[in-house]
Homo-oligomer: A and B are copies of this chain.
């Protein structure tokens, strides 16, 4: 079985690839388990590291909005696609052309390449909370009309619509997962407005300062990287009959105030770690963060067997187990 991961060089793409290689098998569309003979990691940047040395792994670097590249990527026999590649929120907002080219035209190109296959592949797409916006109810789920307030959210919402239409027409068997804010992302801070939610855990536990730009009472809906990877594979495993009505699933997250995140850092790293959190409000970031859903209603995903993190403790522990050592080694 040939499996493709777009954005395969990214943080989630790498973790997903590792999990798929460990598992070694995926079901086909009839539900029969099949061996993963080939795992293609596609990215616009070079993919290095130990994964690339697995004999099942093939690395392909290219432009996702180029139909010829996509015809090579989605070669005959491709049975599973995990579509994670994206221009992230801050870049999609500042570079409108690049955001639309990759996040919209790239997704359309990918879907057209899937459509060209003799047997339609199953495709799992990483969507985002950013599809929501405007006046929101206290708990936000799939029944809420989408009113994204960023180019990134707009492009994710468009990609969901494309996926649903191509699935309805039988060109692909698609499933989109709306991800809560992923915490803790390892590595360095990025320009996403949500970046602080990871930073304020990651940096203090590695002995560095981090700024929290929003008030302690601010509530966010979060998910850990471990849960995201499991959710991507679980979404793949679902029989098509369970998503026929609606291809976009709101993943469950846990809701936590920023003050409680601080307390979790204190419990994990002591006063010394806690004192690395610098509370400096930033009105611009507060406005963006307050436009996001604070609580999610994800009944359908829960009934389909998706599982939420127990809370911030679990996410912090997962970071300590999975990433803290490498994080401390980052200069």
Contact = CB atoms under 8 A, between A and B. Distances in A.
Contacts of A150: 165
Interface stretch (A65-73, A137-145, A232-240, A274-282): A137-145
Contacts of A157: 161
A115 B115 CA distance: 32
A291 B86 CA distance: 34
A150 B157 CA distance: 16
A108 interface: yes
Given A145-B144, A145-B146, A146-B145, A151 B165 contact: yes
23 contacts: A96-B115, A96-B169, A96-B171, A104-B108, A142-B145, A143-B145, A144-B145, A145-B146, A146-B146, A146-B161, A147-B164, A148-B161, A148-B165, A149-B168, A150-B165, A151-B165, A151-B169, A154-B162, A154-B164, A154-B165, A157-B161, A158-B161, A161-B161
Contacts of A135: 245
Nearest to A149: B168
A289 B145 CA distance: 22
Given A134-B245, A145-B146, A151-B165, 10 more contacts: A96-B115, A96-B169, A96-B171, A104-B108, A146-B161, A147-B164, A148-B161, A148-B165, A154-B161, A158-B162
Residue of A115, A143, A154 with highest tally of chain B CB at under 10 A: A154
A246 interface: yes
A246 B148 CA distance: 10
A284 to B, nearest CB: 16
A157 B171 CA distance: 20
Interface string A217-252: 000000000000000000000000000011000000
A100 interface: yes
A99 to B, nearest CB: 10
A246 to B, nearest CB: 7
Contacts of A165: 148, 150-151, 154
Interface in A158-182: 158, 161-162, 164-165, 168-169, 171
A121 B149 CA distance: 21
A104 B162 CA distance: 10
Interface string A93-122: 000100010001000100000010000000
Contacts of A115: 96
A132 to B, nearest CB: 10
